[in-house]
Amino acid sequence: MNWLKSQDQCKSDRGHLVIIESEEEQDFLTALVEMEGREDKSYWIGLTDQNIEGDFVWVDEMPLDKQKTFWAKRDHDHGQEPDNWIEESISPGEDCVHLQKSKIYSGWYDAGCEMQKKRICEAPCSVHG
Ligand SMILES: [Ca+2]
Ligand SMILES: [Ca+2]
C-alpha cells in the first residue's frame, strides 16, 4: 500500500506505523525484516516530512531526534539518505520513510509516498485478565 493507506491500516488495528526510538528497536526490526526473507525488503515506517520539507516528524507528531536516526548510506552511488530525490516526471520529491534491508547497509530511505510497500505496524500490548 502507499504510505497513508499503510498508516490507516495500522490505525484500524489500533496501532500506527512503527516509531523507532532506539538502536535496539532498529536492530530488532532489521532482524525481523531479514527473517522474512523477501527479495524486496522494504517497509514503511511512521516517519514523514510531508508537512515541512526536511522536517521529519513521527506519526505521533514527535519530531525526529537527530541523535537517533538510522538513515541509509546508499551502496550503488555512495549517496546519503534522505535525499528528497527530485527528477522531472519521475519523482516530485520524497516525503515518506521506509526501512530497507540491503546486503551492505540497512537503514531508512525517504521515498515517494505513493509507492506501494509493505509496512511495519506497532500497537500497544493489551493485557486482559
Ligand atoms: Ca522530503
Ligand atoms: Ca531517498
Report the CATH number at residue 97: 3.10.100.10
**Domain assignment present for 127:** no
User: What's the pLDDT score for residue 40?
Assistant: 64
Count of other CB atoms within 10 angstroms of residue 128: 3
Strands 107-111 and 57-58: unpaired
Nearest to 19 by CA among 74, 97, 72: 97
**Domain assignment present for 128:** no
The Å distance, Cα 56 to ligand 1 centre, comes to 8
What whole-number distance in Å separates Cα of residue 51 and Cα of residue 59? 12
Half-sphere exposure of 112 (CA within 13 A, CB side): 11
Q: What is the pLDDT along the chain (129 residues), one digit of tens a residue?
A: 999 999 999 999 999 999 999 999 999 999 888 888 766 679 999 999 999 999 999 999 999 999 999 999 887 788 899 999 999 988 889 999 999 987 767 899 999 999 999 999 999 887 665
- Domain range for 27: 3-122
User: What's the pLDDT score for residue 19?
Assistant: 98
The Å distance, Cα 39 to ligand 1 centre, comes to 26
Query: Which ligand is nearest the CA of 115, by number?
Result: 2
